[in-house]
Structure 1
Amino acid sequence: MHDIRRVTEPGKRSLRRDLLAARDSLTADEVREAGRALARHALELPELAGARTVAAYVSVGAEPGTHDLLEALYARGVRVLLPALLPDNDLDWGAYGGEGSLARRRHGGRMELFEPSEPLLGPDAVTAADAVLLPGLAVDARGLRLGRGGGSYDRVLARLERAGAHPALVVLLYDPEVVDRLPAEEHDRPVRAAVTPSAVHRFA
């Protein structure tokens, strides 16, 4: 994966394109090994060690793998909430019950997603989480995260704020996706930490 640490203020669209292209260059073995390493680091986080409920997601394609992490949290007895995409791009949530509890769903022309089976718990279920594991494409030294641009997790973060909920926010990334500075907007909310296959990065 090429290094984008020197990229400072490109447009978000072109930056997303470059980051996705770098991910797409990874082999399936590289993605699997990165997921295993990422899980090892994530499971050492104090925020997850003491969590009773964790909102997470099922990785797809070349995203940093979450399957090992989900299984380890579930085996610990953690209540794991997973998102289900709604037609307006908001997220509902359901409880993870192991790999057999997931359903494969295609949303329009988008990629297939693995989502929790019924019953779903409603969009506000995420406000009960002690930690929220976020997907993303990059994070900068301020803890500001770059997502895919769909706005689903912007809604989640706004919902947490409205509810007065303050779970630990952690983004899961590859190593070169921790950069110096990203373009930011007023509604962007910083994360507490980023976990990559080689390290945990914490932000003030």
Structure 2
Amino acid sequence: MAMSTPIKERRTSADDVFDYLHEEIATMRLRPGDKISEADLAARFGISRQPVRDAFSRLATHDLLLIRPQRATEVKRFSKREIEKSRFVRTAIEREVLRRASEKCDAQGAARLDDSLKAQEQAIQKDDVELFGSLDYEFHKILCGIAGADYAFDVILTEKAKVDRLCILGLSKENNMPGLVEDHRNIAEAVKAHQPIKAIEHGMFHLSRLDETIERIAITNANYFDAPVP
């Protein structure tokens, strides 16, 4: 019986435009409210406008672009209501993940947490904000794995992505990385010691760090946020 060979998924021009814009928006090189030209991007990539429209549509689905008929497409501004909703969902998920991780953590899980913390320290030494952001994701993914709830990371990933631009802005402007690593270390130590109450306590403090950043950015860069609904 002949064995079939997996066919690699074919990339399209729309994929290239999507990846480029997603990176530009996620890293805050494109800021909330910035206008994006369909024609300019088509010329930049040497393609027709249709793939650009497709990429725009996908980014709008990810809540990163605002597409308005007959008006310029722009990078989506932050919504305080959506941020609050996202934080509520993530808090509930993280509590259960930390509880389960604290019960199930074994030597292998502890080693993975230690390796993650070392990598985060190295990112701080290099002052590499983007690398640290990736390692932050990885740390929470490891916790979900230890908890035996890999699927929980899918939810965390979705909710975290909604505030990541604020995280990047906060990290780059306020040098918050050392404090975040300290939070991660406290969480890891509690998980390794099978102390769910302490792990959850440290985890909730970790999530609350962004609150002050959000309020500060809302004051210093009010134009990054949607206008309040009257």
Superposed pair shares fold, TM > 0.5: no
Return the structure number with greater strand share. Answer: 1
Question: TM-score scaled to structure 2, two decimals?
Answer: 0.22
Return the structure number with greater helix share. Answer: 2
Question: TM-score scaled to structure 1, two decimals?
Answer: 0.23
